[in-house]
Amino acid sequence: SHPLASINDVYNAILIEGEPIGQVMFFGPGAGSGPTASAVVSDIMSIAAILQTETEPIPHPLLSCTHQHYCETASMAELVTRFYARFLTKDNPGVIGQLGTCFGSHNVSLESVVQTGIHDELAEIVVVTHDVKEGNFRQALEEIQSLDVIDSIPSVLRVL
């Protein structure tokens, strides 16, 4: 149901949210000779326009923003999203409880926890969170990584 989930194949998209406009999405082809040539020409035209109109030299025109006075970059720690994480753990009683306790102590709410099986004497546990701040999730992962029952955390993905 998220707008970015409808983007398929060679298309790319950017979703921007702001005040007072709300959500705005830009999308188009992002692969192949045509889109690449278009991007290169666009960059060249941007540089030419900036050099033609600016009175002060700009060291990196494509990397600079002329709107710093009102734009802010949000911290990744403040990003709110859902996560999928896969853990390989010792097959001991209470491991799922330890994971739940660590997540809970960092205000990470779990949507689902599933033990999918045992491979090479290690239990595979998959966790999907509700919407959480990335900073809280990462702090919980650091604590979980230090548990003696954790062998590895092979997968961590943001869920759209």
CATH number at residue 95: 3.30.70.260
pTM of the full predicted structure? 0.58
| Domain total of the chain | 1
Within a domain: 10: no
Residue 154 binned pLDDT confidence (cut-offs 50, 70, 90): very high
Residue 89: phi and psi, rounded to 5, are -130, 165
What is the residue range of 146's domain? 77-159
Which of 132, 117, 124 shows the shortest CA–CA distance to 82? 132
* pLDDT, tens only, 44-94: 787 777 667 765 655 555 545 555 555 566 789 999 999 999 999 999 999
Within a domain: 127: yes
* pLDDT, tens only, 87-123: 999 999 999 999 999 999 999 999 999 998 888 899 9
Question: Which token pair is 12?
Answer: 């790319």
Pairing of strands 132-133, 110-119: unpaired
For 91, 122, 123, 138, the CA distances from 119, given in Å and listed in that order, are 10, 5, 6, 26
Average pLDDT, the chain: 85
Report yes or no: 61 and 46 within 8 Å, Cβ to Cβ. Answer: yes
